[in-house]
Copies of this chain bind each other. A is one copy, B any other.
Amino acid sequence: MNIIRPTLLVDELKCRTHIERMNKIAVQSNVIFRPHFKTHQSQAIGSWFRDAGVTRITTSSLVMAEYFAADGWDDITVAFPVNYLEYDLINSLAARIQLNLCTVSLASLEKLADRLKHKIHIFIEIDTGYGRTGIDPADLDTINQFIQFIEQEKYMSFAGFLSHAGHSYKCRSKAEIEKVHRASFKSAIALKEKFIHAHPTLAYSIGDTPTCSVVDNFSGVDEIRPGNFIFYDVTQNEIGSCSMDAIAVALACPVVAIHPLKNEIVIHGGAVHLSKDSVVLKNGIQIFGRVATLSDRGWNPMPESYHVKSISQEHGIISVPAESLDQFKIGDRVGVLPVHSCLTADCMGGYTTLQGEKLDHF
């Protein structure tokens, strides 16, 4: 493969291994595996999930749901507070597939109810500690109000509760992730127990990659929705969710300059390719990516001392250990393992497999 400009490589084998592993955890726990497709946003990569038996998926927007519905996915949860202004697309999707939406606002549900022409399934989003959005699980009055409203509407069906323990992203060890999970999970189970008798079909859906990578038993809830695990990234490695070897995407970047006095190499690969996301390593250094050597069979992560120290729109500046510059020359291609693979994939808008095949991105 002759790479001449920034190219997002994907290692299909690693991805399929991650899918199999997560699927197994779901099967063992007897919960539905409804992966979040916002990370890859690719019909081609979606087919790898289909090969593993996945039939239900999650997206982060209605237009992304439409993209996957067009590829035959017919049971999709949009894990984002429903925006009633999108009622036309909601109706058009709900006419064709099982569409599961998510709510945190009764006002929004009321506006939507007037405009629905097809049945939708509604999860009430619960905030089990992340603090981004969702109803407080202790606020039973509000939750009851939501359920009552949903159940009286002809085109609405109460699906259950959904939460995202996004505060697991602040963890920096498996022990911390497990601690966040225990508190969040306990809160979920307690809420489910309060409502399951009156609403025996309700499901409780949880899921974030750190938790789903570290915990292997989810018995008690009904569904997991991890997304990032398909690729993982440097942030997940820092959190403690994955090894560096597990990262399944790398941005191949040409070396365009070498600065011996500063122990830096300049690559074509910047914020429009990697995104501007960064992570602070345990040693206190903020980085925009880690470095890997590329080969025909994929890539090998280099030590942490090789990292992208800064980026601008198209430039990436890689810091390398003193006396290691002779490993690089102009025209070489180096791999950058992204800080946040979802955003890198979104910036790049497509993938190239190690076999040279191009894969779509929404």
Contact = CB atoms under 8 A, between A and B. Distances in A.
A310 B107 CA distance: 24
A77 B358 CA distance: 30
7 contacts: A104-B256, A111-B331, A132-B266, A132-B317, A271-B277, A276-B277, A313-B343
A262 B133 CA distance: 10
List the 3 shortest-distance A-B pairs measured between CB atoms, nearest first: A4-B85, A81-B256, A276-B277
B271 A132 contact: no
B313 A342 contact: yes
B85 A331 contact: yes
Given A83-B268, A271-B343, A276-B343, 17 more contacts: A4-B83, A5-B85, A5-B86, A38-B313, A60-B313, A61-B268, A80-B256, A81-B266, A104-B257, A132-B315, A133-B317, A166-B312, A271-B275, A275-B276, A276-B276, A313-B343, A346-B347
Nearest to A39: B313
A195 interface: no
A133 B257 contact: yes
Interface in A149-179: 166
Contacts of A259: 133
A63 interface: yes
A231 B63 CA distance: 28
Interface string A287-316: 000000000000000000000001011110
Nearest to A278: B276
Interface string A54-70: 00000011110000000
A359 to B, nearest CB: 18
Interface string A176-215: 0000000000000000000000000000000000000000
A271 B271 CA distance: 12
B256 A83 contact: yes
B256 A329 contact: no
Contacts of A277: 271, 276
A258 interface: yes
Interface in A303-341: 310, 312-315, 317, 329-331, 340
Nearest to A110: B330
A237 interface: no
Nearest to A264: B133
Interface in A64-94: 80-86
